[in-house]
Structure 1
């Protein structure tokens, strides 16, 4: 299909879904109780950790939004979409962007959470992102005018970046990335540069050695994972010594399964580390209660610690509303989506199917625990800096979508003007109101004893 035909395809989508319709949101009469949806996710999670999840979600309406991807997926599915497909992040809120190290050891800014990734309409991700902007601004007490201004800035950044990318060749799009370096700092205002330097310094302080120093201690001349229940619990404290010993033996097979998911040359690297021990760790907001493990490895020298995260992967919340994933292993789905959307990914990113020390069968994806990862504190960021950050997220999402979707058609649908920006702002403000109602419903459920918060 020629570029002109792709443009016509994008413009023709306006007939089925006018850009003004992007702003429509009305709760479906058949809308499910939001607390019921959250409870449905709790059924197969670690029971003693579920109250922690609810507690973290109750911290603020924005924290609730972060954990409520399953609710918004149902709401998006109840409405119309453009029909222009991309690889979706599935949970593209503001706190799921951040800094991490590329294989070349450059700090890059990109999406960093792909638990819900699945092919679907690009506008679902954009609506999740702009809604998170409105929810955050409302949660921070900013007025509606400021909320709308920031949402429009986000939508405009996505639209203009997609338009720029639509004019590039395929390889140029694939190579595009946001590198945090001196050249970038020279192009931004001093206020923004100061914030970027602060966040970058935090990311640089989260390397392999820092992870080992924080999460391990020395005993009998060897490193061991620290215990900090219920947030970090070594496997030996969850089961009997006999079961723990048998599981250590089983780990050798699991490691072989994981290594087989890596590229050939990286298998050589991975095999140079030996397994030491593992612990269950609580992570995130929406992920709390899923089985997540940190695994300690050591290089052949014995003074080369490596901490890996082995995180349970479940079916995407989008699969109830879109085509089911083509990957039989949910961990492979996450890894494939991450590799497709990120400009560069963790070289040790892989997957496996495993039986945990607690006897639970599950799919998992594996990555380095800390690899110069950093995120901005959007709940305390000054408004001017927050606006710049929101725009950076919009541009990063457009770049991620352009790798898998028809960027020419999407850019043509959005157009040169701000009609889509204004519509998305209306949607975001309306959905922030819905999110507030759902947050209050969870609070009421906790106060009545329907759910238990830690």
Structure 2
């Protein structure tokens, strides 16, 4: 609260001057007015930069990764065009750096492709559908998330083998679902927006889409710490739980690294809620291994830790290295976190960045989320395998595919709607389809670029150039 002009009690306000309140209507009108500077059709053209160097960007990312895991990352990225797209967020961030934008920033996912949405368990043990990856989250242009999302729809639909007319239908559906949801959500109060979440339930209908959802719910019920412990561990001679190696996916680490991991866990306890700290105090770490995760993340330091409780129960935590968001490093996004954080954390505390942005973007988050900086590296920690599952788009027929796309676009809008600028976005998008058509056109062109980059990487790997 600012000190300043005294205000009489009759005015129904604080007796001292406070910051101006920007109404949703004013922001909405500002968004509409922004079409005069950047027409919605202005997002349609993808302009390829003359100095593009996708292989150079991948080399830059490799400099700080575990060297022996780099070949595995390249192997996973060259498995298919969609796998490449999953791992090439840095390349797209660089391509978006100079793309047209309204100049309005929100907290963004930074890597909002189809495979980074999914189902997981809330602390109340109900299942929810939401974004589930925040390594590249930042404070940046809202358009970047939308373009990465719609392009992923095009790449996935083409890989699935749909006709091009259906591919374009799916791309338009992706953009429209975001636009419509943003317009609807911003008609609610900020508190009502905050409480919106997409709960997942088994259905009574026997549609193909509901069958896909029911299958995912069944899969989620099997993805628990208890099940993963039974699958990947055995009892040691002292009765403790020990992870069975499966290199390169699971590999035990040297004793010095084990001690480092234990140090990380000890510091992590200071960043979780007090109830979680008390809960974890009843567990003892009994094993730790390095684990290879994802596609783009391969090569960053990631570990899983088995903790054993007083009744022999096990809890598994994942410790994952956090580095600077590609949206900032390669895209030039304004910051890792929204300005509201101010000077409360170090600018290079990327573990906190990931956790803080996850709390903003998700309707409900893992209560075990925490972060730590240790030995000059940032990490974030979360529960491992808490009924989390993703939808495999390569198995979906067209109707379930577009239903899934619609759900993803809706929760992406909900995530962006937590930022103060959301009514501006709604005003800019409007009630018509010009933005949908423009982004679908851009995504189609960029999907072509991604496939070209995929082929370039395959050739470079084959020649030993990377």
- Pairwise TM-score range, normalised by the shorter structure: over 0.9
CA distance in 1, matches of 2:83, 2:261: 35
Instruction: Tell me by how many angstroms 1:3 deviates.
Output: 2.8
Instruction: Tell me by how many angstroms 1:212 deviates.
Output: 0.7
Structure 1 position 219 matched with structure 2 position 236: yes
CA distance in 1, matches of 2:258, 2:25: 59
Structure 1 position 49 matched with structure 2 position 59: no
Structure 2 stretches of 5 or more lacking a match? 1-21, 338-346
Q: Secondary structure at 1:260's aligned position in 2? A: helix
Instruction: Tell me by how many angstroms 1:142 deviates.
Output: 2.4
CA distance in 1, matches of 2:57, 2:356: 27
Hey, what does 1:345 align to over in structure 2? 365
Hey, what does 1:406 align to over in structure 2? 421
Distance 1:251 1:72, change over 3 A: closer
Instruction: Tell me by how many angstroms 1:343 deviates.
Output: 0.4
CA distance in 2, matches of 1:14, 1:189: 43
Q: Secondary structure at 1:159's aligned position in 2? A: helix
Structure 1 contact 85–405 (Cα < 8 Å) conserved: no
Distance 1:253 1:64, change over 3 A: closer
Q: Deviations over 1:224-259 (max 9, x none)?
A: 011011110012xxx3xxxx1x65555554322100
Q: Secondary structure at 2:305's aligned position in 1? A: strand
Q: Which runs of 4+ in 1 moved over 4 A?
A: 246-252
CA distance in 1, matches of 2:258, 2:208: 50
Task: Choose which of 169, 191, 213 in structure 1 pairs with 2:208.
Answer: 191
Instruction: Tell me by how many angstroms 1:407 deviates.
Output: 2.2
Structure 1 position 273 matched with structure 2 position 283: yes
Q: Deviations over 1:43-82 (max 9, x none)?
A: 1111111111111111111110000000000001121211
CA distance in 2, matches of 1:38, 1:78: 20
Task: Choose which of 389, 393, 396 in structure 1 pairs with 2:408.
Answer: 393
Task: Choose which of 300, 306, 326 in structure 2 pairs with 1:317.
Answer: 326
CA distance in 2, matches of 1:448, 1:284: 25
Hey, what does 1:16 align to over in structure 2? 37
CA distance in 2, matches of 1:224, 1:435: 42
Structure 2 contact 135–354 (Cα < 8 Å) conserved: yes
Q: Secondary structure at 1:297's aligned position in 2? A: strand
Structure 1 position 29 matched with structure 2 position 50: yes
Hey, what does 1:358 align to over in structure 2? none
Structure 1 contact 232–282 (Cα < 8 Å) conserved: yes
CA distance in 2, matches of 1:425, 1:189: 31
**Structure 2 counterparts to residues 196-275 of structure 1, below 5 A:** 196-220=213-237, 221-235=239-253, 239=254, 244=255, 248=258, 251-275=261-285
Distance 1:189 1:411, change over 3 A: farther
Instruction: Tell me by how many angstroms 1:139 deviates.
Output: 2.1
Task: Choose which of 293, 297, 303 in structure 2 pairs with 1:293.
Answer: 303
Structure 1 stretches of 5 or more lacking a match? 356-360
Instruction: Tell me by how many angstroms 1:406 deviates.
Output: 2.2
Distance 1:2 1:189, change over 3 A: farther
Task: Choose which of 417, 438, 447 in structure 1 pairs with 2:453.
Answer: 438
Distance 1:3 1:231, change over 3 A: closer
Q: Deviations over 1:417-438 (max 9, x none)?
A: 1111111110110001111110
CA distance in 1, matches of 2:79, 2:192: 42
Structure 1 position 365 matched with structure 2 position 385: no
Instruction: Tell me by how many angstroms 1:137 deviates.
Output: 1.5
Instruction: Tell me by how many angstroms 1:199 deviates.
Output: 0.5
Structure 1 contact 138–432 (Cα < 8 Å) conserved: no
Structure 1 contact 165–407 (Cα < 8 Å) conserved: no
CA distance in 2, matches of 1:112, 1:251: 24
CA distance in 2, matches of 1:408, 1:249: 49
Distance 1:96 1:27, change over 3 A: same
Structure 1 position 69 matched with structure 2 position 89: yes
Q: Secondary structure at 1:277's aligned position in 2? A: strand
CA distance in 2, matches of 1:189, 1:411: 35
CA distance in 2, matches of 1:397, 1:248: 38
Q: Deviations over 1:238-287 (max 9, x none)?
A: x3xxxx1x655555543221000112232211212111121001110000
Hey, what does 2:10 align to over in structure 1? none
CA RMSD of aligned residues (A): 1.4
Q: Secondary structure at 1:307's aligned position in 2? A: strand
Distance 1:25 1:256, change over 3 A: same
